[in-house]
Structure 1
Amino acid sequence: MFAGVMMLNSKQAVSSEYGKALCQNLSRQPDEDIVELDFEHAYIVQAKVGALTSYDGLSKHEPHAASLLSGEPLGPAGNIDGDHKLIDKELAEGSYPALRECRGAFCGASYSEAAGEPVLHLFSDKLGVRPIYYWCDEEMVVFSTALRVLEALPFVPKVRDDVGVAESIAFGYPLAERTQYVGINVLREAEIVSFSSDGISRACYWRWDQVPTQEISDKDALEKAYKLFADAINIRRRGDREVGAFLSGGMDSRAIVAMLHASGADIQAINFSPDRSQDQALARAYAEQIGVSFFAAPRNHSSKDGFRMALTRFVRDCIDRGEIKAERPNGLWSGDGGSVGLGNVHLDDKLLSLLRGGERGSAIKHLFQICQIGFPYRLLQPNDRKIVADLLRTGVENELDRLECADPGQAMFLFLMVNDQRKHLYDVYEDLDLHRLEYQLPFFDSNLLEFICGLPVDYRNNHRFYTDWFSVFPESTRLVPWQTYPGHVECPLPIPENLSYQWGRPKPQKLTTKIASRISSGIEALRLALDPAGLGPVPRSRLLALAGIQLLCIKDYSYAVKAAERYRLG
């Protein structure tokens, strides 16, 4: 984790108050060991988690320069220190062949005061999996690997961006480089943003829309993808004998565990799902099939913080109790990225047909239906409803226009990769100071993704390629059924009966639970309505009406209350 401030005017020094605020807000751990770098025109702070590597992420090879790195580039040098040096050299020269060879998830900041002129480069990995947020005005630039740091700094203005908030409500994240604040941006995929007294410049060292379609047989494609995936596993494993890996009832985590098992690793498989669910039962059956340790925690209650934070708390507790036996227990293997990257989970054949027929408006509407993207329009006045609907559609159109793909179906796939998947783990990195967990992410390996992007999008759709890909894995991978997405290629093996399905209809809540939830939501709506803080386009009269409906348990509008809360926090 790191954060910093740089003055854009070479005649200005950094205020001691700025440095103090950075130190106070980088980490919420009271005993955090924070490295402070105090330059004439910049102040940079860093805290090391150390979950994936012992490398300290700091290169300070000159008196008036420093470079920070988070994550693992997995580049041409073959070691993280060497890759860091190569990246620094390329940033200074403005040519990026080594960066284009990096296949890992990483981000960084490089600062120098050569000839007394402050220069700062911020850079992201090819997909932008690890975030860097930044804000600047005419005097300074402020940056951090966690948005909460910028939120806490008194000298960074927090002005709600209604577009970013609306997109967060609908998609779960703002599109493009936006956040929920005006002027606070996040780096895009493969982006380098440079700051100096001359202004701001941006460079993109890799373009996913320029990956050519390959002429390759299906058989050869399956075998090459398998080899690339094996390589993605091995380069991240670094010879670890004992590893911890998430194992669900689906294909992504099974593919990872199968590959780790084939490579001779001693695996502790971890499952976090409800009792009597396909997710838990099929994971357990597969672990027993290949003879690996299986550790399950029933997830039979909802968490107000959501699945991800409940998961990290569970894993953190297990590590603290010594229950996870691994050489790097804080660096767990995770299947994030597989279903969208290899399975095209948010696309279908109808969507491709609409796009290729030039019916982009209908295609976007269909995408919203597939992904269950919605907005509680009843929160707003009629005129504002149309404005928000237009903003959401235009946001997708602008992203599609940015992608220069011959096949509009491939453009929609890349839209999801550089938005949904790019921001998929931002919540994990946001709270890195608290849970200290990192994920090994072989499905985000850029060598693997580059090859997959070169295959016809139709073959990848609906898990067609993915299901065929399982045929080249060890036979044990296919002896136990796996959970599949609705409408995608079904598992050829019968699923045991009386198991809950992840995408099935949820069990009805107990009456007492339902009443308590609605009353709590009603109280929250009332609090928001009476709060003097601005709520953007949400009228207070609507919130008062929602509060009455919730408190009387007439109908459940808790989703609308949560949306209103986003506007207040934005």
Structure 2
Amino acid sequence: MSILAGVVTRYKGVQLIDALCESIKRTISRFPDDKVIEYRDSRALLTKIDIGAYNSPGFLVGKTGSVSMLAGEPLLNINNEENIHTRWSDLQILQRYWDEEKWDIGAATCGVFCAVHYEPAKGRISLITDRLGIRPLYYWIGEQYIVFATALRILEEIPIIPKCMDLRAVTEIASFGFPLSNRTPYWNIFVLKAAEIVQIDEKGVYKRQYWRWDQLQQLNLSESDLLTEAYTRFVKAVKRRLRTDKTTVAFLSGGLDSRCVVSILRDKNVTVHTFNFALPRTQDHVFAAEFAKKVKTIHTHVPINPGSCDVPGYAKTLSYAWSTSKYRNAYPPERPRLVWSGEGGSVAIGHVYLNREMCKLLQSGKDDLAIDMYLNKQYIGVPLKLFSPNIVHRIAMIPKQGIVEELNDIHCEDRCRGFHLFLMLNDQRRHLSNHFEGIDLHRTEFHLPFFDGHLLELILASPIDLFLEHRFYHKWLYCFPSAVTAVPWQTYPGHAKCPLPIPNNLAYQWGKESTHTQRRRNRSLVHETVSWLRADDFSHKIIRKERLWLATLLTWMGLRDYGYVMKKARIFYKYWKRCNGNYIL
């Protein structure tokens, strides 16, 4: 299954309202041909949509009467066994353990998933997510009802749920690109944290974590043994997701992450349709094409529009490119809606966003300076001149305050590893939220071997100094088939350089944008900003209208580029409008 949603009454005497149930069934999918599969009793409605990606069911009514629903793939790895369970058998095993309240079984999962476990006899519902919380599961707890869904858009459309903007969370979205912790843009809607179980019954609400990444015992492997073991676990991560497939689909960029994935697939003699989405004559475009030729994939390059104000998600772009591919029928995959992605590699293995100076500060107890360095280097924050004087001082504190609170909840002996965990449990946990939000439309699930639980147990228990600036990653490449290092790859600024010569005529992904492209990108953004600046419901209590008008005018005239200001202001307006001006700070 790909989408889950439902409602459960909190108490026996509470009536399950038909209108509420219908609103859930109506909003769970926007795809016209989807059929809603449901379970209903006097206290609960559980619904699901299955796009058919896994060719295996994710819904089970057990012998005890309990009901379990699954989105994604748990990929149980019990006692490091070689035998790979099916998705269906995983669900059967998990349900049996959950019925017996053996919640620690989650520690044996390697995949990206979320689940709902409903026990009618106990009047209890349990919401569960994977060890990193990559697969989001949102919930609202009212006085009489609990409503949950794997897409926030579903809860946004439920009339019974009051909408009030959490200004702290929205400021975090404008600053980081996502809210921290379990926050969402709405003060009364939450998302599960990593490895979290939220249980609700008549007695109350209970939260627990079946796994803690900060409790791993540090390993003392030699670097050589660590490289070998990391490669072995990565190959297993690919194999357990591949199952018996002989043909498949994958993203392929000019970087390392997707290249590593594709190299293992080709080494296993799998026919791979690869897709690259990049501007022509860039490193991303050319290096991907060269590697595809080297390992003999069926490769397609899809040019992207350099002036687009709102580039669509790659899953949506891929969905169209794949559906119209002339090679699809000639070389059909067994599971055409499953696509391999290198998501997670740059942070999990490459430790991007960290550097030696930051780690030195963290390891010497100077967290405050390290956080400031991180915020400055990543340009995290909001333009404070944009905000009303009544709230600007509180707004200014939000990004740093959020990091401090998260770090205080991570108990690593090495503070730099703790900061890396902060990135994994926030940046990476939220990285695919938009992908899952639109899965009813783009109809694509991802294989994510870099988020494999067994692999991450090794990486996150190893000394962090080995991994900084992609240095471990570059040594790791030589464990892979030789084609991986035979073609140049693009690298991150300030990280280990590619040892192969890079042609000078290729544009760099992190290079400076041309003035022409910049103006083209800002044009539609200016028009959009002007339209809501003129609107009656403009959020004047939060945003200083005259400052935003000035930034918009200067951008339109080409005197300054305040596109970033307009984008951040747009986020606040979006949720202000959805909440009819109701907010809490």
Q: 1:247 aligns with which of 240, 252, 273?
A: 252
Query: Identity over the aligned pairs, expressed in percent?
Result: 35
Find the residue that maps to 2:125 and give its secondary structure. Answer: strand
Structure 2 stretches of 5 or more lacking a match? 79-83, 576-585
Matched with 1:189 is 194
Q: 1:360 aligns with which of 367, 374, 377?
A: 367
Post-superposition CA distance 1:229-278 (Å, at most 9, x none): 00000010012111111111111011111111111111122111110000
Matched with 2:81 is none
CA distance, structure 1, for counterparts of residue 309 and residue 319 of structure 2: 18
- TM superposition shift of 1:386: 2.7
Matched with 1:482 is 489
Q: Which residue identity lines up with residue 467 of structure 1 in the other structure?
A: H
Matched with 2:315 is 312
Q: 2:124 aligns with which of 97, 102, 119?
A: 119
Matched with 1:330 is 337
- Cα 1:388–1:6 change in 2 (3 A) is same
Contact kept, 8 Å, 1:522 with 1:546, in 2: the verdict is no
Post-superposition CA distance 1:184-219 (Å, at most 9, x none): 000000000001111100110000001111111111
Post-superposition CA distance 1:373-394 (Å, at most 9, x none): 1312221135633311211111
Find the residue that maps to 1:455 and give its secondary structure. Answer: coil
Q: 1:425 aligns with which of 407, 413, 432?
A: 432
Matched with 1:396 is 403
Residue 72 of structure 1 pairs with residue 79 of structure 2? no
Contact kept, 8 Å, 1:90 with 1:96, in 2: the verdict is yes
- TM superposition shift of 1:367: 0.8
- TM superposition shift of 1:511: 8.7
- Cα 1:182–1:321 change in 2 (3 A) is same
Find the residue that maps to 1:335 and give its secondary structure. Answer: coil
Matched with 2:535 is 530
CA distance, structure 2, for counterparts of residue 85 and residue 302 of structure 1: 49
Residue 142 of structure 1 pairs with residue 143 of structure 2? no
Contact kept, 8 Å, 1:118 with 1:196, in 2: the verdict is yes
CA distance, structure 2, for counterparts of residue 169 and residue 226 of structure 1: 37
- Cα 1:511–1:476 change in 2 (3 A) is closer
CA distance, structure 1, for counterparts of residue 558 and residue 278 of structure 2: 30
Residue 160 of structure 1 pairs with residue 161 of structure 2? no
Post-superposition CA distance 1:314-353 (Å, at most 9, x none): 2111232244442222111100000000000110001001
Matched with 2:102 is 95
CA distance, structure 1, for counterparts of residue 117 and residue 238 of structure 2: 29
CA distance, structure 2, for counterparts of residue 452 and residue 475 of structure 1: 23
Bigger shift: 254-263 or 288-297? 288-297
Matched with 2:9 is 7
Contact kept, 8 Å, 1:347 with 1:461, in 2: the verdict is yes
CA distance, structure 2, for counterparts of residue 271 and residue 355 of structure 1: 38
Bigger shift: 325-334 or 32-41? 325-334
Find the residue that maps to 2:505 and give its secondary structure. Answer: coil
- Cα 1:163–1:351 change in 2 (3 A) is same
Q: Which residue identity lines up with residue 540 of structure 1 in the other structure?
A: K
Contact kept, 8 Å, 2:306 with 2:517, in 1: the verdict is no
- Cα 1:454–1:312 change in 2 (3 A) is same
Bigger shift: 319-328 or 99-108? 319-328
Q: Which residue identity lines up with residue 318 of structure 1 in the other structure?
A: A
Matched with 2:324 is 321
Matched pairs, number:
563
CA distance, structure 2, for counterparts of residue 392 and residue 434 of structure 1: 33
**RMSD (Å) for aligned C-alpha atoms:** 1.9
Q: 1:47 aligns with which of 42, 46, 49?
A: 49
Residue 176 of structure 1 pairs with residue 177 of structure 2? no
Q: Which residue identity lines up with residue 219 of structure 1 in the other structure?
A: S
With the length of structure 2 as denominator, give the TM-score of the two structures.
0.93
Matched with 1:131 is 136
- Cα 1:254–1:105 change in 2 (3 A) is same
- Cα 1:511–1:22 change in 2 (3 A) is closer
Contact kept, 8 Å, 2:130 with 2:195, in 1: the verdict is yes
Structure 1 stretches of 5 or more lacking a match? none
- TM superposition shift of 1:552: 4.5
CA distance, structure 2, for counterparts of residue 300 and residue 15 of structure 1: 47
